Amino acid sequence: RKFSSPALKRSDSIADSMPEALRQSRYHMKKCFAKYIAQGKRMMKLHNLMDELEKVIDDPAERSHVLEGLLGYILCTTMEAAVVPPYLAFATRQNPGFWEYVKVNANDLSVEGITATEYLKFKEMIVDENWAKDEYALEIDFGAVDFSTPRLTLSSSIGNGLSYVSKFLTSKLNASSTSAQGLVDYLLTLNHQGDKLMINETLSTVSKLQAALVVAEASISSLPTDTPYQSFELRFKQWGFEKGWGDTAERVRDTMRTLSEVLQAPDPLNIEKFFGRVPTVFNIVLFSVHGYFGQADVLGLPDTGGQVVYVLDQVVAFEEEMLQRIKQQGLNAKPQILVVTRLIPDAKGTKCNQELEPIKNTKHSHILRIPFRTEKGVLNQWVSRFDIYPYLERYTQDASDKIIELMEGKPDLIIGNYTDGNLVASLMARKLGITLGTIAHALEKTKYEDSDIKLKELDPKYHFSCQFTADLIAMNSADFVITSTYQEIAGSKDRPGQYESHSAFTLPGLFRVVSGISVFDPKFNIAAPGADQSVYFPYTEKQKRLTNFRAAIEELLFSKVDNDEHIGYLEDRKKPILFTMARLDTVKNTTGLAEWYGKNKRLRSLVNLVVVGGSFDPTKSKDREEAAEIKKMHMLIEKYQLKGQIRWIAAQTDRYRNSELYRTVADSKGAFVQPALYEAFGLTVIEAMNCGLPTFATNQGGPAEIIIDGVSGFHIDPNNGDESSNKIANFFQKCKEDPEHWNRISAQGLKRIYECYTWKIYANKVLNMGSLYTFWRTLYKDQKQAKQRYVETFYNLEFRNLVKDVPVKKDDETPQVPKE
Ligand code: UDP
Ligand code: LCN
């Protein structure tokens, strides 16, 4: 529900304006609040508050009068409310990252601002009164150890960490000569396998370095620009310079000039440029622990989706970018990247039981698999990501030993993926003192409504107590956090972000987080992934099309038989294809799309539906949710008599063939739909758009940022099926009347991708982070140390205890029966 109402002035707090708002409609509000508290203790969301308000003020004109005032605005900023009669405690959020808590006494409508702690206690009162009243209940406050690092102040700056760190560095370097000396000291530590880089002890102070830079710059200015570094290397060494400045006279001169500028009068652009050139990162470890992780035949297996695609593509992009940088730095080092995952002996026909595997399309990168060990030895079977916690500590030790052996030393950068990978990465980074980046892909906390206070109900199944604790540990240990979208960090105007939801929450009975993370921390960076453009290229690039798949795809889409790979058929093959592909999880809402299609006659007359996902026999599915979705899909095909208009294809594992499938759908002038109830990022959206396929994607989550609605594709509301299916039908209707419409959306989709969503842009950004944050952390080492100590205590006393409640698998147990 949206209504225009006078926004508060920025300076107005809800606590200050709410009394006035309530006074304006005191009569109705008294009734309304009486109704809110009438049912006793409970949590209410905005829609509950509105529904009850509608009942109390049943005259629509009167209602809109009330809602058009200040009150409507305040209600709109309400994310939730805890009812503990006679109080209603509101959690309000006027802008991303800005929360305010107030309590209203329903009897006299008095209003009082409260702290996050007090608000959380109201929530706890609903589920565990004794704990809520325990004065010594554990409170986690990471904010208390954040005493020195600067913070952003505007919602709009969130996620631009890298550029703000350059700005903060500018003022820090300007403000004190000790910081500039910090930079020199940092440069002195740079080395590759023990060989010094950039400068040596001769240039140990700012003034010495500045003077030497002037001399060196002057001496190369007379050389032809392409003179190789080697020809003046010796002379430079005498002055105190080491390798790393560049491969040619021109590059060396430019890098030196940039540093001179930084030392003379620091500015963010030169700082960013200089750190983009400093040789810091040669060896990277990427953790993506839970399986199945492999290069073939794994996609579509439980828990194995976009993360694998992301990590593998990321490695290729990193290696390419690192090779280019190393060359430009005038070095001949080899970059090494290890993707460290779990070795699963019971590999089910995949290569997940192989220890070391070279990564395709790279020269120096490998997958390293380390098994889970328990007291009984190596664990053979797959473990769900929700049950993975008991193995991680030992895994970290085993993995670290092997990594150091293979790399012949420590890596320069560790990057974690997802809760398990991030935890392992943070443990290893702490032990070895290495820069840490984390990636969540999707934090689970926001996926389940009230997942914090419903802990008791959800924990046996999902072990969220471990997961949320591990996530807090990782995000607070990280030197930088990589996200794919803004919404992942700080949500949107009316929905909190995934990280933001960790700023204040409570796990009643365990601990109350009064400050878990700040989204204004400059560690947060948006760096969106791309899709492998050698695979996902536009349908129009005829000469590159993978024609060898033509027959197989023809069979896949149009043959009339039902078998293990496909069921259903397409009667009228001239119709465009409406296509979707995803793991068959509830949240992906594939069955939702089938239902919208089933219900919408107009859409059915315009297009055929092709669905890729899951398998067809629910009894054979290992996954908790998949089995239910399979059943539902069969039911819908029956209920809406979809045979003849739907083709259901089982999960696909060959991305080359999939890419040709997207393009074949584009040939039919069809469209791709991503109807998820919530999607963290949505790689399929990027893949489809790269193939030139017009795309409709959920407005809940990442895709809403990828697509500009009506320009480069369309947003659909997964919670409003009729509206969404009509929007799709309208598109096809319009394309019938004006075929150019389809071409326009297709071309705009591609344009959007090339401008914002490529792996090249990604790799450049993340390697700059690796470099800049490695220096940044040295400037704040005291604070880092304090925080790390706090994290260690939390890990030791809380996480380790929680893990004890997660059952450790034994291999003779029947694996992973769906819990229903
Ligand atoms: N995918 C696939 N076969 C399937 C379903 C999905 O190859 O049957 C691929 C898809 O092309 C994409 C990835 O798996 O590369 C899914 O990533 P996305 O971000 O869309 O969702 P996730 O599975 O990570 O939640
Ligand atoms: C996991 C998800 O759930 C997706 O939304 C992402 O696209 C994928 O990982 C890659 O980051």
Q: How far apart are CA 516 and CA 798, in angstroms?
A: 15
Q: How far apart are CA 159 and CA 481, in angstroms?
A: 9
- Residues 6+ positions from 25 with CB-CB distance below 8 Å: 66, 69, 71
pLDDT tens profile 348-400: 999 999 999 999 999 999 999 999 999 999 999 999 999 999 999 999 999 99
Q: How far apart are CA 301 and CA 815, in angstroms?
A: 14
Q: How far apart are CA 338 and CA 335, in angstroms?
A: 10
* Interval between CA 651 and ligand 1 midpoint (Å): 9
DSSP 357: E
- Pocket probe mutation, ligand 2, options 418, 420, 484, 705, max atoms within 8 Å of Cβ: 484
| Torsion angle defined by CA atoms of residues 76, 78, 83 and 85, in that order, rounded to the nearest 10 degrees | -70
Ligand 1 and 702: CB distance under 6 A: no
pLDDT at 817: 39
pLDDT at 7: 52
* Interval between CA 443 and ligand 1 midpoint (Å): 17
* Interval between CA 601 and ligand 2 midpoint (Å): 33
Query: Ligand 2 atom 11: the closest Cα is on which residue?
Result: 441
* Interval between CA 689 and ligand 1 midpoint (Å): 14
In 3-state terms, what secondary structure has residue 293?
coil
Tokens of 417: 């993926």
Ligand 1 and 652: CB distance under 6 A: yes
Instruction: Please give the ipTM for the structure prediction.
Output: 0.98
- Pocket probe mutation, ligand 1, options 308, 447, 658, 662, max atoms within 8 Å of Cβ: 658
How many CB atoms are located within 10 Å of the residue 40 CB? 9
Q: Exposed e or buried b for every residue in 656-683, given b needs 16+ CB within 10 A?
A: eebbbbbbbbbbbbbbbbbbbbbbbbbb
Which residue carries 């089933």 as its tokens? Answer: 598
Contact yes or no for 219/230 (Cβ under 8 A): no
Query: Ligand 1 atom 5: the closest Cα is on which residue?
Result: 582
Q: Which ligand is located closest to the Cα atom of residue 589?
A: 1
Low-confidence stretches of the chain (pLDDT beneath 70): 1-11, 812-820
- Residues 6+ positions from 766 with CB-CB distance below 8 Å: 318, 415, 437, 482, 527
* Interval between CA 766 and ligand 1 midpoint (Å): 23
Omega of the bond leading into 224 within 30 degrees of 0 (cis)? no
pLDDT at 224: 98
Ligand 1 and 683: CB distance under 6 A: yes
Q: How far apart are CA 588 and CA 213, in angstroms?
A: 57
Question: What's the distance, Cα to Cα, between the start and end of the chain in Å?
Answer: 35
What's the predicted TM-score (pTM) here?
Answer: 0.95
Q: How far apart are CA 283 and CA 285, in angstroms?
A: 7
Ligand 2 and 583: CB distance under 6 A: no
- Residues 6+ positions from 189 with CB-CB distance below 8 Å: none
How many CB atoms are located within 10 Å of the residue 626 CB? 23
pLDDT tens profile 80-99: 999 999 999 999 999 999 99
